[in-house]
Structure 1
Amino acid sequence: MSQIDKSHPLSVSRQCEVLDVPRGSFYYSPREEGSYNEELMELTDKQHMDTPFYGVPRMTEYLRGLGHNVNHKRVRRLYRQMDLYGMGPRPNTGKPHKGEGHTVHPYLPRGVRVDRVN
Structure 2
Amino acid sequence: MIDRAHPLPVSRQVELVGISRSSAYYAPRPVSAADLALMRRIDELHLEHPFAGARMLMRLLKREGIVVGRKHVGTLMRKMGIEALYRKPNLSRKHLAHKIWPYLLRDRKIERSSQVYALDTTYVPMAHGFVYLTAVIDWASRRVLAHRVAITMEAEHAVAALEEAFAKYGLPEIVNTDQGSQFTSTVFTDAVLSRGIALSMDGKGSWRDNVLSNDCGAA
TM-score after normalising by structure 2: 0.30
Match of 2:61 in 1: 63
**Structure that is richer in strand per residue:** 2
Within-5 A mapping of 1:34-113 = 34-92=32-90
Q: Provide the rounded CA distance (Å) in 2 between the counterparts of 1:29 and 1:87.
A: 31
Q: Provide the rounded CA distance (Å) in 1 between the counterparts of 2:42 and 2:86.
A: 18
Aligned length: 72
| 2:79 aligned partner, one-letter code | Q
CA deviation profile, 1:18-61 (whole Å, cap 9, x unmatched): xxxxxxxx7x7431110000001000111111111111110011
CA deviation profile, 1:54-91 (whole Å, cap 9, x unmatched): 11110011111111120011000011011111111212
Q: Provide the rounded CA distance (Å) in 2 between the counterparts of 1:2 and 1:63.
A: 43
Q: Provide the rounded CA distance (Å) in 1 between the counterparts of 2:31 and 2:54.
A: 19
| 1:49 aligned partner, one-letter code | L
Match of 1:19 in 2: none
- CA RMSD, 1 decimal: 2.4
Large movers: runs of 4+ above 4 Å: 1-4
Q: Provide the rounded CA distance (Å) in 1 between the counterparts of 2:3 and 2:82.
A: 32
Could you say which structure has the greater relative contact order, defined with CA pairs below 8 angstroms and 6 or more residues apart? 2
Point out where structure 2 has 5 or more consecutive residues left out of the alignment: 6-24, 92-219
Point out where structure 1 has 5 or more consecutive residues left out of the alignment: 5-25, 94-118
Within-5 A mapping of 1:4-15 = none
Is the radius of gyration larger for structure 1 or structure 2? 1
| 1:74 aligned partner, one-letter code | H
Does the C-alpha gap of structure 1 residues 91 and 33 become closer, same or farther in structure 2, counting only changes over 3 Å?
same
